[in-house]
């Protein structure tokens, strides 16, 4: 396996077939003062201006929601990655990660903020004409107008291209739009909608639709499980008159707008989930320290330590992979003009696999953490006096929107295989080399050295081989029918997600050793536990996938290869979780990042 160096620009998915130098990976420990400043500004804004008003937002005071968006804009939060030419402050993608992590504490308001700053501003910036950008982006960035993104319909959510909304071209070149978009965040008060409709029922196209255009209105607020403080309504288009100048991008190329915007949304959502998990670990740790049962704080009980330790481990892996992804995108964009929309698009598309991983890993880690937060709060977790109950409801949708986790799981191996077949990613030669290695019984697999985390490095390299083995077997067995084999693809996705999380945690911990950071021992513990436990899950998913594809001697040979690759001695994760939990309780919250 070759080694990347800090000077090389990594390609998307390359980590699956290459070793990565720890120093080349971006971690939360490497944030600049500028990043930290945007983090502090967001934290203060949420704490002082959003949280005291949460009840009013939950009662659907949309004038207040607008006012808060204006206020966020005045602090440069909406324009954080917008070029100065359009009113923004053009920071890097890592800055948006820091911001979104901190914005997570704002509960429903974070959804309003995301739909406005991400889903509306970005399509305009990336696909708009100069005139469209000048007309709309500075007003959005200043919070004068609020945006929304209208892709889904009642009959087409995951199958977004199956939209029924129609656009019919008029004699003067303008369009009449008809249809009903569903579940539109900010639908009740947005001024501007990025709407997707089919020109003449055929060509899927994006349009910029102002609320003030004739024929545009919104339906009633949905009664949701959570996020009560964000507006979610249908968008009704009844002979809506849209000027020709408001086509966004090319006619028939709406899918490019829709899917690229989601790529951006996915890694930012991963960051928001990471922020939500950190906050909940803080709540759980404080509660566990204060709540006494059987004459002592519940934090003293092993069962509670296990939970706090596990919450910390999942967040450490998530945070590591989210920052790594942002760093990869920033590295690719380092030499580009931020106004160069095609370059920005290409960089984010390059890391679409990592963005999907961030979305799935983030939403699922957060679900676990919030569920255990309720559990640690006991009866108090089930009632509204404590925020644990609201977090639990608010977060459920993260596994549903920005592409459901099922769709993202299918995309992860699908995109990797597509890139391999195009020759953009050397998966196929790596898989062939692996097969030769596994078929030659004399060739000893490398063993870990005696250095810190050397064994874990070897183990993670083996995880990658397992991922390759499953992907190669699937490509060989099903060929171009592979997309019909969702259970196998999902098993491959589970392995790949675990590989990226475990390796990101490991590289971060190694970097902490090299840089002699104060918390390096705790990082070392966390990485060891994450790698150790990922092995069990990876083995299970590989067995499931391989057993679906082969039987008899072939399967037995594969199982023998799997056993060779995954020969791991478990580490004492019970002791590690206890230590992490005790630290979290002592410090009143998440101990890394
Ligand atoms: C609070 C909230 C806010 C939202 N905000 C917006 C917004 O601002 N703009 C917008 O456009 N949309 C928005 N949405 C819509 C959201 O993006 C969709 O709900 C989501 O994409 C899923 O679509 P669906 O609800 O039609 O589910 P479906 O697509 O019907 O999916 C139902 C189930 O089937 C699975 N499934 C579907 N297709 C496949 C397949 N091919 N293979 C395997 N499994 C499959 C799904 O994973 C899911 O588990 C929002 C939704 C909510 C709840």
Q: Read out DSSP for 497-537? A: HHHHHHHHHHHHHHHHHHTT-TTHHHHHHHHHHHHHHHHHH
Averaged pLDDT for residues 75-83: 95
Residue tagged 């939950």 (tokens)? 58
Residue to substitute in 183, 257, 259 for testing ligand 1 pocket (most ligand atoms within 8 angstroms of CB): 183
Averaged pLDDT for residues 5-11: 62
pLDDT of residue 94: 96
Q: How far apart are CA 506 and CA 525, in angstroms?
A: 10
On the question of pLDDT at 449 being above 70, the answer is: no
Q: Residue 471 gets which letter from DSSP?
A: H
Phi/psi of residue 149, each to 5°? -125, 120
CA-to-CA dists, residue 101 to 94, 283, 508, 519, angstroms = 11, 16, 18, 21
Tell me the pLDDT tens digit for each residue of 127-156.
999 999 999 999 999 999 999 999 999 999
On the question of pLDDT at 4 being above 80, the answer is: no
Numbered ranges of CATH 1.10.540.10 in the chain: 29-141
On the question of pLDDT at 443 being above 90, the answer is: no
Percent share of the chain, pLDDT over 90: 91
Both tokens of residue 318? 């998530």
Atom of ligand 1 at shortest range from CA of 119: 8
On the question of pLDDT at 444 being above 90, the answer is: no
Cα–ligand 1 centroid distance for 73 (angstroms): 29
Q: How far apart are CA 284 and CA 467, in angstroms?
A: 35
Tell me the pLDDT tens digit for each residue of 188-224.
999 999 999 999 999 999 999 999 999 999 999 999 9
- Verdict on whether the full-model pTM lies above 0.85: yes
pLDDT of residue 341: 87
Closest CA to 240 of 212, 219, 221: 212
pLDDT band at 337 (very low <50, low <70, confident <90, very high): confident
Residue nearest atom 41 in ligand 1 by C-alpha distance? 407
Numbered ranges of CATH 2.40.110.10 in the chain: 147-252
Please tell me which residue in 402, 456, 503, 533 is annotated as part of the active site. Answer: 402
Any bridge partners for residue 204, and if so which? 198
Give the total residue count for the chain. Answer: 593
Return the number of other C-beta atoms located less than 10 Å from residue 335's C-beta: 8
Supply the mean pLDDT for the chain: 95
Helix ranges, 4-92 (H): 33-45, 54-58, 62-74
Q: How far apart are CA 275 and CA 102, in angstroms?
A: 6
On the question of pLDDT at 79 being above 50, the answer is: yes
Cα–ligand 1 centroid distance for 156 (angstroms): 8
Give the lowest-confidence range in 202-206, 416-420, 449-453, 470-474: 449-453
Closest CA to 387 of 400, 370, 404: 370
Percent share of the chain, pLDDT over 70: 97
Q: What angle do CA 158, 315, 89 make, to 5 degrees?
A: 75
Q: Residue 551 gets which letter from DSSP?
A: -
CA-to-CA dists, residue 215 to 171, 172, 174, 178, 234, angstroms = 18, 18, 14, 9, 14
CATH superfamily of 29-141: Acyl-CoA dehydrogenase/oxidase, N-terminal domain (1.10.540.10)
Atom of ligand 1 at shortest range from CA of 181: 11
Residue to substitute in 112, 120, 157 for testing ligand 1 pocket (most ligand atoms within 8 angstroms of CB): 157
On the question of pLDDT at 340 being above 90, the answer is: no
459 sits in which H/E element: helix 454-478
> Using an 8 Å Cβ cutoff, are 380 and 386 in contact?
yes
Q: Which residues line ligand 1 (CB under 6 A)?
A: 115, 149-152, 157-158, 183-185, 224, 227, 232, 397, 400-401, 404, 406-407, 486
Architecture of domain 425-587: Up-down Bundle (1.20)
Any bridge partners for residue 235, and if so which? 181, 218
Q: How far apart are CA 240 and CA 506, in angstroms?
A: 53
Both tokens of residue 254? 């709406």
Averaged pLDDT for residues 152-161: 96
On the question of pLDDT at 68 being above 50, the answer is: yes
Atom of ligand 1 at shortest range from CA of 196: 11
Beta carbons within 8 Å of 400's beta carbon, 6+ residues apart: none
Atom of ligand 1 at shortest range from CA of 158: 29
Averaged pLDDT for residues 289-303: 98
pLDDT band at 465 (very low <50, low <70, confident <90, very high): very high
Tell me the pLDDT tens digit for each residue of 97-134.
999 999 999 989 999 999 999 999 999 999 999 999 99
Fold of 255-406: Butyryl-CoA Dehydrogenase, subunit A; domain 3 (1.20.140)
pLDDT of residue 264: 87
Numbered ranges of CATH 1.20.140.10 in the chain: 255-406, 425-587
Both tokens of residue 244? 């020709």
Cα–ligand 1 centroid distance for 158 (angstroms): 5
In 88-174, at which residue ranges do the beta strands (DSSP E only) sit? 147-150, 166-169
Q: Residue 82 gets which letter from DSSP?
A: S
Class of domain 147-252: mainly beta
Does the active-site annotation cover 402?
A: yes
Return the number of other C-beta atoms located less than 10 Å from residue 544's C-beta: 16
pLDDT of residue 423: 92
Q: Residue 242 gets which letter from DSSP?
A: E
On the question of pLDDT at 1 being above 50, the answer is: no
């Amino acid at each position: 396996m070759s080694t990347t160096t800090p000077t090389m620009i990594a390609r998307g998915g390359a980590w699956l077939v290459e070793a990565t130098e720890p120093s080349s990976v971006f971690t939360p420990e490497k944030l600049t003062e500028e990043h930290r400043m945007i983090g502090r500004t967001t934290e203060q804004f949420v704490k002082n201006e959003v949280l005291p008003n949460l009840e009013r937002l939950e009662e659907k005071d949309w004038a207040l929601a607008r006012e808060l968006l204006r206020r966020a804009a005045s602090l440069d939060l909406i324009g954080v990655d917008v070029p100065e030419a359009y009113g923004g402050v053009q920071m890097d993608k890592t800055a948006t990660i820091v911001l979104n992590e901190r914005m997570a504490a704002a509960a429903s308001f974070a959804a309003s903020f995301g739909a406005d700053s991400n889903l509306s501003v970005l399509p305009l910036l990336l696909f708009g004409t100069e005139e469209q950008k000048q007309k709309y982006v500075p007003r959005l960035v200043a919070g004068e107008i609020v945006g929304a993104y209208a892709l889904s319909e009642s009959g087409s959510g995951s199958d977004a291209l199956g939209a029924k909304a129609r656009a019919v071209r008029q004699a003067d070149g303008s369009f009449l739009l008809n249809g009903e978009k569903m579940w539109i965040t900010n639908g009740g008060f947005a001024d501007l909608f990025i709407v997707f409709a089919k020109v003449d029922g055929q060509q899927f196209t994006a349009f910029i639709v102002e609320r003030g255009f004739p024929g545009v209105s919104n339906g009633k607020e949905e009664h949701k499980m959570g996020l009560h403080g964000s507006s979610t309504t249908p968008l009704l288009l009844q002979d809506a008159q849209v000027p020709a100048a408001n086509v966004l991008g090319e006619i028939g190329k709406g899918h490019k707008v829709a899917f690229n915007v989601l790529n951006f949304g996915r890694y930012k959502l991963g960051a928001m989930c990471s922020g939500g998990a950190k906050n909940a670990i803080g709540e759980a740790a404080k509660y566990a320290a204060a709540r006494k049962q059987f004459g002592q704080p519940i934090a003293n009980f092993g069962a509670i330590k296990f939970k706090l330790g596990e919450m910390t481990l999942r967040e450490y892996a998530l945070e590591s992979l989210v920052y790594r992804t942002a760093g990869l995108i920033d590295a690719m964009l380092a030499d580009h003009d931020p106004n160069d929309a095609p370059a920005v698009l290409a960089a984010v598309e390059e890391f679409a696999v990592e963005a999907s991983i961030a979305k799935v890993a983030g939403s699922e880690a957060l679900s676990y953490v919030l569920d255990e937060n309720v559990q640690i709060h006991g009866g108090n977790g089930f009632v509204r006096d404590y925020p644990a109950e609201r977090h639990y409801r608010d977060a459920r949708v993260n596994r549903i929107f920005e592409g459901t986790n099922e769709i993202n799981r299918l995309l992860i191996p699908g995109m990797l295989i597509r890139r391999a077949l195009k020759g953009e990613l050397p998966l196929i030669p790596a898989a062939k080399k692996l097969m030769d290695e596994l078929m030659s019984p004399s060739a000893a697999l490398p063993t870990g050295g005696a250095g810190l985390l050397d064994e874990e490095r070897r183990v993670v390299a083996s995880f990658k081989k397992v991922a390759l083995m499953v992907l190669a077997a699937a490509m060989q067995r099903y060929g171009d029918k592979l997309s019909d084999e969702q259970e196998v693809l999902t098993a491959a996705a589970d392995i790949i997600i675990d590989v990226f999380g475990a390796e990101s945690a490991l590289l971060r911990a190694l970097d902490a050793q090299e840089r002699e950071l104060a918390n390096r021992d705790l990082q070392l513990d966390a990485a060891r536990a994450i790698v150790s436990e990922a092995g069990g899950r990876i083995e299970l998913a590989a067995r499931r996938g391989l057993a679906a594809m082969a039987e008899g001697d072939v399967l037995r040979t594969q199982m023998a290869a799997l056993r060779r690759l995954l020969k791991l001695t478990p580490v004492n994760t019970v002791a590690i979780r206890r230590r992490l939990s005790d630290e979290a309780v002592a410090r009143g919250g998440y101990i890394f990042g």
